[in-house]
Homo-oligomer: A and B are copies of this chain.
Amino acid sequence: MRNPYANAAPAQVRAKIRAGELTGQTSGMCNGYAQANLIVLPKDYAYDFLLFAQRNPKPCPVLEVTEPGERMLRHIANADIATDIPKYRVYQDGALIDEVTDVSPYWREDLVSFLIGCSFSFESELLEAGVAVRHIEENRNVPMFNTNIACDPAGAMHGNMVVSMRPLPPEQIVRAVTATAAMPRVHGTPVHIGDPAQIGIADITKPDYGDAVTIYPGETPVFWACGVTPQAIVMQSRPPFAISHAPGHMLITDVNNSLLKY
């Protein structure tokens, strides 16, 4: 079933989200516009996170960083980051303490917001390039896996990369690589093509996050760095305070996906 907001303008949908009229997942909304992951940290932790992102650009492609305390974004959306996401998670010392639709009561003058690119953007490129995206065909969440690929650490932040997987017939792999190569700001090219065991995945039918999808005979699993990586690694480092979007409840930006190319 097509999302009733598939062709809505981002500003209209964000207004409904801000008013509390929309509190669900954003997948399928505002087709053509990029959606973004959110991580909010105290300024004291911002350098380590920004450095982690610089060292790991594939799992952690930063689209915008706010000034400390600033709620309004300046670049990717005319949005108030404390109200314009449908659902937030609030963490203390790495533990989830609240799930809310508005984080204004939690806002502090030392908070820095990081908006991070999301694979929704490159999936629309894949579809345009004629590449099958199995979990969309099967109306499921993308399958995601923990791997043995170590991220380059920064300060307290260290851990392995999480990847998303899309099975492809061999003749579509080159197109999938070139289509995503054009989008380095939303995870870019695959990090692995082929044998899951080589990156520490024991059972390709049992994802660690998201849903399993059908892999037809002759198809090759293709793996991309996943935006779950920075969120998992930040929370493992147990910052005294943090906010993130709730899974699947993203910021809908004013940026057309095609503008994220090059």
* Chain A residues packing against B (C-beta within 8 Å): 46-47, 50-51, 53-55, 62, 65, 75, 152, 181, 184, 188-189, 262
User: Helix, strand, loop or mixed for chain A's interface?
Assistant: helix
Which of B46, B51, B181, B184 is within 8 Å of A65, CB to CB? B51
Please name all residues of chain B whose beta carbon is closer than 8 Å to the beta carbon of A47 when the two chains form the complex: 46-47, 50
Sorted from nearest, which 6 A-B pairs have the closest CB atoms? A47-B47, A181-B262, A50-B50, A189-B262, A184-B184, A54-B62
Chain B contacts for A262, CB-based, 8 A: 181, 184, 188-189
Complex CA gap A50/B52 in Å reads 11
Q: Give A177's nearest chain B residue, CB to CB.
A: B262
Considering only CB atoms, which chain B residue lies closest to A53 in the complex? B54
**A53 contacts across to B, CB distance below 8 A:** 54
| Chain B residue nearest in CB terms to A182 | B181
**Which of B50, B55, B181, B188 has a CB less than 8 Å from the CB of A54?**
B50
Nearest-neighbor residue (CB-CB) of A178 within chain B: B262
- A51 surroundings in chain B (CB, below 8 A): 50, 65
Return 15 A-B CB contacts under 8 Å, by A number.
A46-B47, A47-B47, A50-B50, A50-B51, A50-B54, A51-B65, A53-B54, A54-B62, A55-B65, A75-B152, A181-B262, A184-B184, A184-B262, A188-B262, A189-B262
Known: A50-B50, A51-B65, A55-B65. 6 other contacts (CB 8 A): A47-B47, A50-B51, A53-B54, A54-B54, A181-B262, A184-B184
